Amino acid sequence: MIRPMTLFCLTLAALLSFGLFKVKHKVQVLEEELTQLHHAILTDQKAIHVLNAEWSYLNRPRHLQKLNLKFLGFTPFSAERITTIEELPMRHDLASSQQTTSDNKSLEQSLTSPPSHDVRQAMLTGDASEKDASPASLAINTGGTP
Amino acid sequence: MIRQNPPSYTKGCQALDGTAKQALDTARNRLLMTGALFLIAFAVIGARLIDLTMMRDGHEPRLAQAAGLGILKKERADIIDRRGVLLATSLATSSLYANSRRILDAEEAVEKLKSVLPDLDEKMTRTRLTSGHSFVWIYRHLTPRQKYAVNCLGIPGLYFQHEESRVYPHGNLAAHVLGFSGIDHHGLAGIERSLNDELRESSDPLKLTLDIRVQSILHQELSRAREEYQAIGGTGMVMDAHNGEVLALVSLPDFDPNNPVNINDEASFNRATLGVYEMGSTFKIFTAAMALESGTVDLDGGYDATEPIQIGRFTIRDHYPKRRWLTVPEILIYSSNIGAAKMASDVGTANQRAFLHKLGMLSPAAIELPEVGAPLVPSPWRKINTMTVAYGHGLAVSPIQLTTGIATMINGGLFYPATLLPRVKRETGTIERAPEKGEPGSHVLSPDTSEQIRRLMRLVVVEGTGKRAAVNGYLVGGKTGTAEKSARGGYSAKALLSSFVSAFPMTAPRYVVFVMLDEPKGTEETFGHATGGWVAAPVARRIIARTAPMLGIPPVDENTPEIQSEMMVNITPRGPSLASF
């Protein structure tokens, strides 16, 4: 005769051991996956490490200079070609249009647009009076490249 | 331990006699006791289970960490420059070894290996392969391509061993700063040696104060000048005037640290820190600063440089004698030895010695390199020494000491020992180590004197011997130095040490640039001159012109009245006012 309490305990034990097996199996699978991932990370780290060294090697200043002379021809620029934004002459018609138009939208636009936009526009459509400014703005463009 | 029985029991067990009843009672009691013990044990286990499963505390490692997420372990930490450019790293390589007992045909193996490793030592390899040892090195540090080629040969008995080799991607560019490390990962020179322990222990990169762009420019310009003037060597450095951080340091000839076997003594000698030289006229800046600081003379004062000074068996004369009374600015412009000697002897030997000591000229430089030369200090320090040291003879210091001294002269008078490690903690994740020796920021000069020295140095470039160093827009100031190298029993007029020390911009100096060429020969372009003003100053000019925009120094219009007045010095000779006495 099996008492209900024993039956309950046996069922519980069976359920628990099954559950434990499931969890353990899942953990094993996950652990395997984790080990693989760690391995992959380590491999990647090694690769990144080698690539870093290569990046530094390829970026030797002398090497870059050689490439520059071959393809770009940039030369060190002199101090006269560096100036501040404030010292650049404003474009005349742009300045006058800003004064005459009372349209809120255009004023907002001109305020939100970055100053470099104005400078570039002035450079592109510059008239004779802005000719002296062009080498300076050119220096801003090429100034970023070492 | 026998309890009083409850009355309800005794009622139902009337039939039992005394002994049987007692035995039953004892059994029941024992059972109860055991049960209680088990209950307690289960309770403890249950509590522990709850504690472990539900109330897990922080002591238990998380699974992700427990599985061992490996950070790439290296034998030595990387070295990076101030902007994070990799200067030295350790890369995994493979080395080829053999089990000579498993080699079937040594002759064939050598022949095959020679076809893929052209620089293999045939004879050595043959003896090793036939030695009968189970482990013999064949070739260390193969490139991946070579490894592939060796694998393709399919020779039995050859194996690969994983190793690490130190790689310097920039080659000889910063050779004397970085140094090199040996095959067993021990630093043997430079920073690799002086910070060996830090590099071995840490996995974080070591950050230096070098800027590889500036270093490259310095190296290039110095190499060019060395070639042009056929100098036997050269050295140069760029230093931050406000904290002593070295942005670039070059000593020529140099070496490729990737190939430490082929380094000869001449190439490994660090002229910037290990070499000590009599610097010549650049020392006159110190003399002038000392005199102005002590108040023995002011900028309008001067000395009579008409006649050479005769002291003992020595004669102190000028290279370009003016044969008249010279003001202090003129003494620097024309680099008058007589004027400097008189200036120093007015200040006195004890004061001069104390001043130079404060400037770090009498003790080895504090830079974090093992190759540091001790200065050659005159002993005893007599009056004649005071006079010669005033114009840079009789006291030999290393170029880094001089540069540190000049930085002190112009930055407002604060002495910062030269360093290769960043003083300010800039980023986390790098080794930060405060420089040890010296007291950073100790006062040597008053800001006023420093300002006067700035004017004087600017004047030398505008009016004097340093004209060839001028870069329009960057307010370069400097001082030339030409020292005759001491030969046996005196000085040789043929062998010169030509140097130029400069700083820019002179209104608020940021960087000190030092250039020195060892035994330069004059060319047609320099009209045969090989002095500091002719050969070293143009190098400084090119370095400043190229680095200043890179370092973010805004150029100024040198002709504006504000700057003119800020840099103005009255140099007109007052005439021999002493004669009116």
| Domain ranges across chain B | 217-566
CB B547 within 8 A of CB B502: no
pLDDT at B317: 84
Q: Mean pLDDT for chain A? A: 71
Q: Is the pLDDT of residue A146 over 70?
A: no
CB proximity list for A39: less than 8 A, separation 6 or greater: none
CB pairs under 8 A between A and B: 79
pLDDT at B155: 85
Q: Round to the nearest angstrom and report the end-to-end CA distance of chain B.
A: 127
pLDDT at B104: 83
Please state, in angstroms and rounded to a whole number, the distance separating the CA atoms of residues B198 and B168. Answer: 18
Smallest CA–CA distance, residue B297 to chain A, in Å, is 37
Task: Tell me which residues of chain B have a pLDDT lower than 70.
Answer: 1-16, 56-73, 424-441, 487-490, 492-493, 572-581
- Helix or strand (DSSP H, E) at B348: none
CB B111 within 8 A of CB B105: no
- Mutate: best of B167, B254, B475, B559, partner A, most A CBs <10 A: B167
Nearest to A56 among B85, B473, B549 (CB): B85
pLDDT at A122: 38
pLDDT at B162: 84
Pick the CATH number of B217-566 from 3.40.710.10, 3.40.50.300, 3.40.50.1360, 1.10.287.10: 3.40.710.10
pLDDT at B56: 63
Q: Is the pLDDT of residue A126 over 50?
A: no
pLDDT at B581: 36
pLDDT at B58: 56
Q: Which chain B residues touch A49 with a CB distance below 8 Å?
A: 72, 89, 91
pLDDT at A92: 67
Please state, in angstroms and rounded to a whole number, the distance separating the CA atoms of residues A11 and B335. Answer: 105
pLDDT at B383: 86
Please state, in angstroms and rounded to a whole number, the distance separating the CA atoms of residues B496 and B532. Answer: 9
Smallest CA–CA distance, residue A140 to chain B, in Å, is 12
Q: What are phi and psi of A12, to 5 degrees?
A: -60, -45
- Mutate: best of B53, B69, B87, partner A, most A CBs <10 A: B69
Domain limits, chain A:
74-143
pLDDT at A108: 44
Q: Is the pLDDT of residue A142 over 70?
A: no
Judged by average pLDDT, the poorest of A60-69, A131-140, B472-481, B532-541 is: A131-140
B268 three-class SS: helix
Token pair belonging to B516:
């020195």
* A16-20, A47-51, B96-100 — most confident range: A16-20
Cα R_g (chain A), whole angstroms: 35
pLDDT at A102: 45
Tell the residue number behind the tokens 């080990």, with chain if given: A35
- Helix or strand (DSSP H, E) at B82: none
DSSP B245: B
pLDDT at A93: 58
Residue B314, strand partner residues: B311
Q: What is the mean pLDDT of residues A72-79?
A: 81
Please state, in angstroms and rounded to a whole number, the distance separating the CA atoms of residues B122 and B137. Answer: 13
Smallest CA–CA distance, residue A101 to chain B, in Å, is 37
Please state, in angstroms and rounded to a whole number, the distance separating the CA atoms of residues A61 and B215. Answer: 9
Please state, in angstroms and rounded to a whole number, the distance separating the CA atoms of residues B246 and B408. Answer: 14
| Active site (annotated) includes residue B281 | yes
- Is A14 in the B-facing interface, judged by CB distances under 8 Å? no
Which of the two residues, A77 and B80, has the higher pLDDT score?
A: B80
Strands B233-240, B314-316: pairing kind: unpaired
pLDDT at B3: 54
Helical residues (DSSP H) of B365-503, grouped into ranges: 383-390, 399-410, 447-462
Does ipTM exceed 0.85?
Answer: no
CB B167 within 8 A of CB B258: yes
pLDDT at B45: 95
Which of the two residues, B562 and A117, has the higher pLDDT score?
A: B562
